[in-house]
Amino acid sequence: MVSKMFCKVHMVRFYNIEPKSVTCFSYEPKSKVLALARNDYSIEIWNIGNAPFIEATIVGQSTSSIEAMLWIGRRLFSCGQRGMIAEYNLNSLGIRNETSVTGGPAWCMDINHDQTRLAVGTEDGCINTFFVTTESLIYETIFDKQKGRILSIKWDNTGEMIFSGSADTVRIWNATSGHAIHKILLARKKSRRETIVWCLSVTKDNMIISGDSRGTLSIWDPNMGTLIESHNSHAADILAMTLSDDKNVIYCAGVDPVIRTFCRINNKSLGKTQWRRSIERRIHIHDVRALVETNGKLYSAGVDGYLAYSSYPPKILVKYPPLLQSPAAHVCSKSKCILLRYHNYLELWKLGSIDVSLNSVVNAGESYHLDQVPVKLLELRTKLGENITACATTKDSRIIVYSTESHLRVFNFNLVEGETHLCKQLSDIPNKRVHKMIFSSNDELFVTANNDGQANVISLYSVNKEYDISFLGSFSTDGEKIKRVGLMCISSDNKYLVCADSASHIVVYNIQGDLSTESLSRWSLLKYSCPPTAMAIQDDTHNLVIVYSDHKIIEYSISKNKYTTFSNSLQGHLPAQWLARPFPIINIAFHAHNKDIIILHDDTTIFVMNKSHGLPNILAKIPKLENGDSKEENSVKSGSTSAQHAIQVVKKSKHLAQLAWLKNSELVAVEVDPISLVEKLPPTLKQKRFGI
């Protein structure tokens, strides 16, 4: 029974990560990915085709700010204060090439409808245009210099005009000659305060929409340079604006974080179309800096760091917290420690312990009294404050490894009579960054994965009893078409290594024996239409469990090279409530004494799947397990026996970053308190409410 799996849970709530605000993002519709830039200059690649999750992270560099981003096909570009346009290699997760602009820092850019010409606005009031080729950008021309920086830019639908926004001015440019056709002056709210045009959009009939620092939304005629409509929509600056797919709805928000919508209507009495204010969405409490709408879903983000998507109708709101790409925590089961990853440093904590004699009567669901509280043993900061790309530690926490963009460090750690000892190890690992790294469960094998832009290289290292790391061999994944290793796991006997990428290529490698690329034994699983978000190998059975972004679950027997009977019976029988969940599964664990039990969790919920229980009707609600008793969620009866439901909810949570076994009867759950995230944010816009 599921009730027999109850155990002690260490609730780690001291993971005190600082939220990084979102500065801008850009959506690529064909691959359904959202590139999201944060104020630490990192870029997160979110796959939003199903349950949104972070595919990859391009760590930030302190010298390269990101003020604007856009996709040209499936190529990602950004510009910033360095005065450079950067194109990224999404396989190596680094900058592919850079092109300089004339006019200092670049604040904005846009691509024409044919995606053949790129326009960039700069600090000195210059507009640069570039031809887009398959390999790079080729400088075309520079427009007439204007007074003041250009903060927003947009091509028209025909590609013949470019619109730019700056202080007190919207300009309309001839995209061929580089001369200004119209200069539109905006009114000021206060005579000594400039009206800054922060954002621009273009309607399907080529009208200009501007959002400015007065909180005013304006629609302009580009042919005459005249104002058509004006709406005082916000109490402060409008920083972000987007149009719906059909161009009939405007969404705008900013320092006043309320997302207001304006719908296009046909006014028969006037014989023309007009924009009228519609519903508003109160999703964020801090500045909103980025908006995009696709397939009826509005994505928004800003200073609070959360990525939110909403829709109406139906009324839906889901918010994804500003956490690091999983895994952000590593449990050291032998030393009873936990390694927490932050943006540019690591923390090693000794977990608390209880006095069993004082807690003998504690019932299920109640808390134990800690005899020893958690203690921070180590804080390991990176050189020059560089962001961490990956980290790992052994189960006894004696070896700690981390990688940044410029270097990789290996440390030996020991705790002797209450004093910590940390020393740098001179290992066989090359002193260069890696994307993924993992220690085997017995700490005898260390595996790294890196992509140089051409192919993935998997390197294997042995760990001896003196905790020295020695190189064993490496091989390339080029033959398996793996673009970039996103998930990686090792069997408990160090025989099998499984690698997966965001294109759903999943390959099993037999890493015992010859590691040369030509003679290495390997085989691929069937490619699925959605990318995997979590996978793990069960110790005794060598069963590989994979969960995809659409919540499909498969179980594959590596030793038998086929899908299990349970996996085949599961297809087409997963509850609709499970498939509709908006959060992806980010971690999988197995019960130590019951091979039929699989534990899965996402950001908010811990689930238990018991393979010995039958699958109910797909319309059945997932029951919740409370103090040993199963209950239907929301008190909805499904007509099936809840106790025999194969999937059950064990615990609800908020921002669950990691769940892993410490011992056979103890789990570690790492949570991030939403209040702690809010406490680190700057003050919000103060507005009078209800006459106060």
Answer yes or no: do 238 and 248 share one domain: no
Residue 564 within a domain: no
How confident is the model over 61-72, as a mean pLDDT? Answer: 88
- Angle, vertex CA 85, rays to CA 82 and CA 88, nearest 5: 115
Domain end (from 289, 322, 355): 322
Answer yes or no: do 75 and 49 share one domain: yes
Residue 356 within a domain: no
Reply yes or no on whether the pLDDT at 363 is more than 70. no
Q: What pLDDT is attached to residue 636?
A: 37
Q: What pLDDT is attached to residue 191?
A: 87
From the list 267, 255, 389, 266, the residue with the least C-alpha distance to 328 is: 389
Interatomic CA distance for residues 489 and 502, integer angstroms: 15
565 versus 366: which is more confidently predicted?
Answer: 565
Q: What pLDDT is attached to residue 665?
A: 81
SS (H, E, C) 142-194: ECCCCCCCCCEEEECCCCCEEEEEEECEEEEEECCCCCEEEEEECCCCCCCCC
Residues 7-21 have pLDDT tens digits of 788 889 999 999 999
Residue 14 within a domain: no
Answer yes or no: do 144 and 288 share one domain: no
Interatomic CA distance for residues 68 and 105, integer angstroms: 11
Interatomic CA distance for residues 394 and 332, integer angstroms: 7
Reply yes or no on whether the pLDDT at 58 is more than 70. yes
Confirm if 109 and 73 have CB atoms less than 8 A apart: no
Residue 331 within a domain: no
Residues 152-189 have pLDDT tens digits of 999 999 999 999 999 999 999 999 999 999 999 999 98
How do strand 8-12 and strand 666-671 relate by DSSP bridges?
A: parallel
- Phi and psi at 505, nearest 5°, equal -85, 120
Residues 85-125 have pLDDT tens digits of 999 999 999 999 999 999 999 999 999 999 999 999 999 99
Banded model confidence at residue 641, pLDDT cuts 50, 70, 90 = very low
Tokens of 187: 């009114």
Q: What pLDDT is attached to residue 49?
A: 95
**What is the residue whose two structure tokens read 């970039």?**
484
Residues 216-247 have pLDDT tens digits of 999 999 999 999 999 999 999 999 999 999 99
Residue 267, beta-bridge partner list: 272
Residue 290 within a domain: yes
Q: How far, in Å, are 196, 255, 258, 368, 650 from residue 189 at the CA level? A: 11, 16, 20, 60, 55
Interatomic CA distance for residues 140 and 608, integer angstroms: 59
Q: How many CB atoms lie within 10 A of CB 629?
A: 11
How confident is the model over 415-442, as a mean pLDDT? Answer: 88
* Distant-in-sequence, close-in-space partners of 478: CB < 8 Å, separation ≥ 6: 454, 455, 456
Domain end (from 243, 262, 285): 243
Q: What pLDDT is attached to residue 361?
A: 57
From the list 155, 231, 258, 233, the residue with the least C-alpha distance to 200 is: 155
Interatomic CA distance for residues 25 and 685, integer angstroms: 23
Q: Is 136 exposed, middle or buried (0-12, 13-18, 19+ CB in 10 A)?
A: middle
Residue 77, beta-bridge partner list: 70, 87
What SS3 class is residue 216? Answer: strand
Interatomic CA distance for residues 369 and 353, integer angstroms: 9
Reading across the β-sheet that carries 487-490, which strands appear in turn?
A: 487-490, 496-500, 506-510, 521-524
- Angle, vertex CA 657, rays to CA 655 and CA 663, nearest 5: 130
The C-alpha torsion from 445 through 451 and 452 to 454, rounded to 10°, is: 130
Residue 235 within a domain: yes
Answer yes or no: do 27 and 147 share one domain: yes
Reply yes or no on whether the pLDDT at 410 is more than 90. yes
Reply yes or no on whether the pLDDT at 35 is more than 70. yes
Q: What pLDDT is attached to residue 514?
A: 77
* Distant-in-sequence, close-in-space partners of 606: CB < 8 Å, separation ≥ 6: 599, 600, 649, 650, 651, 653, 656, 659, 669
Residue 26: CATH number of its domain: 2.130.10.10
Reply yes or no on whether the pLDDT at 369 is more than 90. no
Q: What pLDDT is attached to residue 664?
A: 77
Banded model confidence at residue 359, pLDDT cuts 50, 70, 90 = low
Answer yes or no: do 160 and 275 share one domain: no
What SS3 class is residue 514? Answer: coil
Reading across the β-sheet that carries 456-463, which strands appear in turn?
A: 436-439, 445-451, 456-463, 469-476
Q: What pLDDT is attached to residue 9?
A: 86
Q: What pLDDT is attached to residue 691?
A: 54
419 versus 278: which is more confidently predicted?
Answer: 278
Q: What pLDDT is attached to residue 5?
A: 53
Answer left, alpha or beta for residue 159, where phi above 0 means left and psi between -120 and 50 means alpha. left
Reply yes or no on whether the pLDDT at 3 is more than 50. no
Q: What pLDDT is attached to residue 637?
A: 40
From the list 415, 520, 517, 515, the residue with the least C-alpha distance to 476 is: 517
Mean pLDDT of the chain: 91
Residue 167, beta-bridge partner list: 196
- Phi and psi at 678, nearest 5°, equal -65, -35
Tokens of 179: 């001369």
Q: What pLDDT is attached to residue 635?
A: 38
Answer yes or no: do 183 and 262 share one domain: no
Q: What pLDDT is attached to residue 644?
A: 61
Answer yes or no: do 106 and 182 share one domain: yes
Confirm if 13 and 669 have CB atoms less than 8 A apart: no
Per-residue DSSP letter, 677: H
How do strand 521-524 and strand 506-510 relate by DSSP bridges?
A: antiparallel
Q: How far, in Å, are 275, 543, 614 from residue 646 at the CA level? A: 51, 18, 6
Answer yes or no: do 218 and 135 share one domain: yes
Q: What pLDDT is attached to residue 498?
A: 97
Q: What pLDDT is attached to residue 643?
A: 44
Answer yes or no: do 120 and 267 share one domain: no
Domain hosting 139: range is: 22-243
Residues 504-532 have pLDDT tens digits of 999 999 998 778 777 789 999 999 999 99
Answer yes or no: do 33 and 96 share one domain: yes
Interatomic CA distance for residues 600 and 585, integer angstroms: 7
Reply yes or no on whether the pLDDT at 267 is more than 80. yes
Q: How many CB atoms lie within 10 A of CB 100?
A: 11
The C-alpha torsion from 157 through 159 and 160 to 164, rounded to 10°, is: 80
Q: How many CB atoms lie within 10 A of CB 321?
A: 18
From the list 282, 313, 287, 311, the residue with the least C-alpha distance to 298 is: 311
How confident is the model over 259-265, as a mean pLDDT? Answer: 96
Domain end (from 196, 219, 243): 243
Banded model confidence at residue 419, pLDDT cuts 50, 70, 90 = confident
Confirm if 337 and 350 have CB atoms less than 8 A apart: yes
Residue 516 within a domain: no
How confident is the model over 311-321, as a mean pLDDT? Answer: 94
Banded model confidence at residue 412, pLDDT cuts 50, 70, 90 = very high
What single-letter amino acid sits at 449? A
pTM (predicted TM-score): 0.94
Answer yes or no: do 270 and 201 share one domain: no
Q: What pLDDT is attached to residue 40?
A: 92
Banded model confidence at residue 270, pLDDT cuts 50, 70, 90 = confident
Q: What pLDDT is attached to residue 634?
A: 42
Reply yes or no on whether the pLDDT at 692 is more than 60. no
- Cis previous bond, 584, omega within 30: no
Reply yes or no on whether the pLDDT at 298 is more than 80. yes
Reply yes or no on whether the pLDDT at 358 is more than 60. no
Residue 391 within a domain: no
Q: Is 8 exposed, middle or buried (0-12, 13-18, 19+ CB in 10 A)?
A: middle
Per-residue DSSP letter, 196: B
Banded model confidence at residue 291, pLDDT cuts 50, 70, 90 = very high
Q: What pLDDT is attached to residue 329?
A: 96
Q: Is 135 exposed, middle or buried (0-12, 13-18, 19+ CB in 10 A)?
A: exposed
Domain tally, the chain: 3
Answer yes or no: do 251 and 227 share one domain: no
